[in-house]
Amino acid sequence: MARLMIEVDGLRVRFGKVDAVRSVSLSVEKGSSFGLVGESGSGKSTVLRVLAGLNPNWSGHLHIAGEEQKPQRAKDFFRRVQMVFQDPYGSLHPHQTIDRTLSEPLVVHGFDGIDTRVRKALEEVSLPAAARFRYPHQLSGGQRQRVAIARALISEPEVLLLDEPTSALDVSVQAEVLNLLSDLRSARSLTYVMVGHNLAVVTHLCSRIAVMQSGEIVETVSAEDLRVGNLTHPHTTDLHTFGVELEELMQTGNSPTGRPGQIASRKN
Amino acid sequence: MQIDVRNLRVAFPAPHGVVEAVRGVSLTIGQEKLGIVGESGSGKSLTARSLLKLLPKQARLSADRLTFDDIDILNADERTMRRIRGKRAGLIMQDPKYSLNAVMTTGAQIAEAWRAHRGGSRKLAHEAAVDLLAQVQIRDPKRVADSYPHELSGGMGQRVMIAMMLAPGPEILIADEPTSALDATVQAEIMRLIEDLVSRRGMGLVLISHDLPLVSHFCDRVLVMYSGRVVEELRASELARAQHPYTQGLLGGLPSLTRPVAQLKVMERDPAWLA
């Protein structure tokens, strides 16, 4: 089995005349988690959608689990690679019960023992059994995101693609979902690729992090380097400074730049 | 300018009786920066919107006292309220994609806000709009004034929204999650801009958010709401000394850049908090 789960080389995506992603290369080891951060429009979600097979207009080389992937993917690919979207309010079918949402991938991929699998999937994401025959609007945001995670996991994938999985959730619910994701990764030796803009959240879950800006990866660092601020690119340094300042304020009540409300100005 | 709220309640009729979403909130706002923090459903937005009487039709508003200077908001008619809304208190909403008019240029929208409250000619209002866009630090205000919301980024859209709210020269800004739809660096820029404008114009600010660290960074005082009540009031500098277990839970569950942990602390909700 290949050591590298995902290998991307010279990925390029164009929307009309716009280069959304220009020559992005990255590799993710099996069983590890990789973070992509950057501002809106930097192309991080576009990279994720190419990996997921949701965007066929790209060029470059892509290997997943050692197999070369073309824009058109095999059916089994969509079982092995799953995605969790940002907004659990928009990503679950409002007219389908949780039971139907979870059964559908099982039917599509020809699994047996659907009833047991749905029950176990709900258990695994700590949802009450009663949630099974509810509709999405009857669940809270955190519960909905758990359903989205259960749906992604139910087809026994190897790779989970996470597009800002907690940014639509309350801070108090975010911790629960992040803990769930890190438990599941070690229990099932999954490979994660996570997109986000909150450095603390991405660093919590990922061991390596790439920073994107205008369609390019400007820096790839380890979580440790990022924590201590061992960074070279100004954009990453900015993000880091702001994050650390807010934390400093919470712990001591003092902002390192003096009075609260005064953030060190950005260097451009 | 002084807003005084005593025992504010907002209730909604439900199939089985009445649901109270805000249950007895009291606060005073002067020329200061006040943060209101809480999770979805805690009543923070309803509390702020009650100040402008901008509530859903079926909502029932009651209070022992609800005044804006000496105007009794509780019993004010729509005519009186229109003189407060926008003119004396501006409301900045979450997502500029939805709160700006998609088929009007940004300049025309700001000019409309200007003329509605200050009168004057179209030409004058348009010039004022360009000037306001410059004040919210848009580099090319003439071009932006002639563009439509879809041509702007999220951060630019929010700046336009702020410019529009500034047009009538309000005494207080109410910002309801003004940066939740924006990414981290833009978030900081917009907050700095609001901060700067508020102190330069001597306005009051009510900042509503679920992001406790962000709010305390920019406010003098923070109210923590849970299930329709204020459970704790803190000076921003005293955040680390929060007493209420809910506030402590909010702070403890955050992933940290500087202090990594394997497992995040999950909040244990005590039914006693609801009492």
Q: Are residues A106 and A73 in the same domain?
A: yes
pLDDT of residue A39: 79
Q: Does residue B129 contact residue B216 with C-beta atoms inside 8 Å?
A: no
Q: Is the pLDDT of residue A247 over 80?
A: no
Tell me the β-bridge partners of A195. A36, A163
pLDDT of residue B236: 83
For B217, which of A200, A244, A261 is closest by C-beta distance? A261
Query: Which tokens hold the place of B95?
Result: 């997502």
For A251, which of B33, B240, B267 is closest by C-beta distance? B240
Best residue of A140, A170, A240 to probe chain B, by most B CBs closer than 10 Å: A170
pLDDT of residue A2: 52
Nearest chain B Cα distance for residue A255, angstroms: 8
Closest by CA to B173, choosing from B219, B216, B205, B198, is B205
Over residues A35-45, the pLDDT tens digits come to 999 877 788 98
Q: Are residues A175 and A244 in the same domain?
A: no
The SS3 assignment for A7 reads: strand
Tell me the β-bridge partners of B14. B17
Q: Are residues A251 and A228 in the same domain?
A: no
Q: How would you write chain B as a 3-class SS string?
A: CCEEEEEEEEEEEECCEEEEEEEEEEEEECCCEEEEECCCCCCHHHHHHHCCCCCCCCCEEECCEEEECCEEHHHCCHHHHHHHECCCEEEECCCHHHHCCCCCCHHHHHHHHHHHHHCCCHHHHHHHHHHHHHHCCCCCHHHHHCCCHHHCCHHHHHHHHHHHHHCCCCCEEEEECCCCCCCHHHHHHHHHHHHHHHHHHCCEEEEEECCHHHHHHHCCEEEEEECCEEEEEEEHHHHHHCCCHHHHHHHHCCCCCCCCCCCCCCCCCCHHHHC
Domain ranges of chain B: 98-169
pLDDT of residue A261: 39
Quickly state the pLDDT bin for A250 (edges 50, 70, 90): low
Quickly state the pLDDT bin for A252 (edges 50, 70, 90): low
The SS3 assignment for A256 reads: coil
Q: Are residues A161 and A252 in the same domain?
A: no
Quickly state the pLDDT bin for A168 (edges 50, 70, 90): confident
Q: Are residues A153 and A250 in the same domain?
A: no
Nearest chain B Cα distance for residue A112, angstroms: 34
Nearest chain A Cα distance for residue B99, angstroms: 19
Closest by CA to B32, choosing from B63, B1, B62, B56, is B1
Residues B110 and A159: their CA atoms lie apart, in Å, by 48
Sheet holding B33-37, edge to edge: B89-92, B172-176, B204-209, B33-37, B221-226, B229-235
Whether residue B236 lies within 8 A of chain A, CB to CB, comes out as yes
pLDDT of residue A264: 41
Whether residue B198 lies within 8 A of chain A, CB to CB, comes out as no
Over residues A97-132, the pLDDT tens digits come to 999 999 999 999 999 999 999 999 999 898 999 999
Q: Are residues A130 and A241 in the same domain?
A: no
Neighbour tally for A72: CB within 10 Å:
8
Give the CATH number for residue A68: 3.40.50.300
Residues of chain A with Cβ-Cβ distance to B216 below 8 Å are 249-250, 260
Query: Which tokens hold the place of B234?
Result: 């803190």
Query: Which tokens hold the place of B109?
Result: 């929208």
Q: What ipTM was predicted for this assembly?
A: 0.75
pLDDT of residue A239: 79
Q: Does residue B206 contact residue B173 with C-beta atoms inside 8 Å?
A: yes
Q: Does residue A42 contact residue A197 with C-beta atoms inside 8 Å?
A: no
Best residue of B234, B237, B257, B269 to probe chain A, by most A CBs closer than 10 Å: B257
pLDDT of residue A107: 95
Please tell me the total number of residues recorded for chain B in this structure: 275
Q: Are residues A49 and A176 in the same domain?
A: yes
Over residues A237-246, the pLDDT tens digits come to 887 887 787 7
pLDDT of residue B207: 95
Q: Is the pLDDT of residue A253 over 60?
A: no
Whether residue A214 lies within 8 A of chain B, CB to CB, comes out as no
Higher pLDDT among residues B108 and A170, named by residue: B108
* Tokens 């309803």, located at residue: B46
Nearest chain B Cα distance for residue A179, angstroms: 6
Nearest chain A Cα distance for residue B240, angstroms: 5
Report the domain count for chain A: 2
Mean pLDDT by 10 residues, chain B (275 residues): 95 91 94 91 92 94 95 94 93 88 96 93 95 92 94 90 94 92 80 92 93 85 94 86 89 85 86 83
* Tokens 């699998």, located at residue: A117
Which residues in chain A (8-37) have CB-CB distances under 8 A to chain B?
Answer: none
Q: Are residues A43 and A91 in the same domain?
A: yes
Q: Is the pLDDT of residue A205 over 80?
A: yes
Range of the domain at A267: 233-268
Percentage helix, strand, coil, to 5, in chain A?
40, 25, 35
